[in-house]
Structures are given as C-alpha cells and as structure tokens.
Amino acid sequence: MKKIASLLFACFLAACSGEKTYEPEDINPDIDVCVVCNMSIVAEQYATEAILKDGTVHKFDDIGCMVEWMNKQNNDGIAKLYVRDVTNGKWIELEHAVYVYNPNYWTPMNYGVVSFANEKHAKEYMEQEGKGEVWTYEQLKKHRWGFER
C-alpha cells in the first residue's frame, strides 16, 4: 500500500510541475479544415498548426494561410507554431524549419512556399523541381504574402 501511495504522490507532483507541452495534433482529412480559407486539409504534408497557450489548436492547409492568420492575431496567446517537412510529413517548429520558395510551386493555396526539417531536404526538393530559392525563417517573415499565381 505504501508503494501505491508513493507512486500516486509522484504522479501528482509530475502533473503539478506546471511545464505544459504544446505538441501538434494529427490531421484528419475527413474533418479538419483550414481556419482561414475553410478548405479541407487533404494534402497533409503542407498542413500547419498554431497552438495557443490555452491548448486550442488551429489548423491550416498552407503556410500562407497560417501567416495570414498570425498577422491578424495578438501573438501573446500563441504557444507554438508548426509546419511539416514536405518530404516526410514530420512536424517542425516554424522558426526551426528551412523553406523553399518559388511562385510556381504547387501548394494547397498557391503561396509557393514549402517547408523542410533541414537544408539537405530543401536542396533535394529544389533539384527535383529544377528551381526555387532556399529561405530561412527570417526571410519567410519578410515575405510579402499573397496568392502567387
């Protein structure tokens, strides 16, 4: 009985540590829609997410939609922003990703910006497409967003 009480107390302390994590949610293409354009999120590798400090998750079908939403927000409420590596679908924090831009790249809303976990993946994508420009997070923030086609 003493061991069970100790285990429960340890679990209670861990839960009260106050360290909240903000992890991205899986995309369900059957029900998830972009909060900006209201399009179904069917091209999951292009999906992005904004997680608010209260735990609310906003999902987007394109990086451009998320940036458009961010530009209208009080960013104090945002805990984490995620994009996906288009080559493997893994989530990456927005500021740690590498981006490739070309106005002719296909993305769900035609913004032409694609995200990657590292520069190697970005350069491989550019070689495959035969065009593009590698961007950092700082360059992404300076981009003048709009439909590129």
pLDDT tens digits, 24-75: 999 999 999 999 999 999 999 999 999 999 999 999 999 999 998 988 887 7
For 2-68, give the secondary structure using H, E and C: HHHHHHHHHHHHHHCCCCCCCCCCCCCCCCCECCCCCCECCCHHHCEEEEECCCCEEEECCHHHHHH
Residue 10 banded pLDDT, cuts 50, 70, 90: very low
Q: Above pLDDT 70, what percent of the chain?
A: 85
Asked if the structure places residue 98 within a domain, the reply is yes
Asked if the structure places residue 148 within a domain, the reply is no
pLDDT at 14 over 80: no
Asked if the structure places residue 149 within a domain, the reply is no
CA–CA distance, 123 with 132 (Å, rounded to integer)? 9
CB 65 within 8 A of CB 37: yes
Q: How far apart are the first and last CA of the chain?
A: 68
CA–CA distance, 85 with 10 (Å, rounded to integer)? 37
pLDDT at 45: 95
Range with lowest mean pLDDT among 34-38, 58-62, 134-138, 139-143:
139-143
Residue 147 banded pLDDT, cuts 50, 70, 90: low
**Which carries the bigger pLDDT value, residue 74 or residue 116?**
116
pTM (2 d.p.):
0.83
Degrees (nearest 5) of the Cα angle 63, 117, 92? 60
Give me the number of domains the chain comprises. Answer: 1
Asked if the structure places residue 126 within a domain, the reply is yes
Phi/psi of residue 43, nearest 5 degrees: -90, 80
Q: Above pLDDT 90, what percent of the chain?
A: 70
pLDDT tens digits along 64-83:
999 989 888 877 889 999 99
Average pLDDT over all residues of the chain: 87
Asked if the structure places residue 123 within a domain, the reply is yes
Task: Write out the H or E segment, with its range, that includes residue 76.
Answer: none
Asked if the structure places residue 147 within a domain, the reply is no
| Closest of 109, 100, 95 to residue 137, by C-alpha | 95
Residue 24 structural domain: 2-142
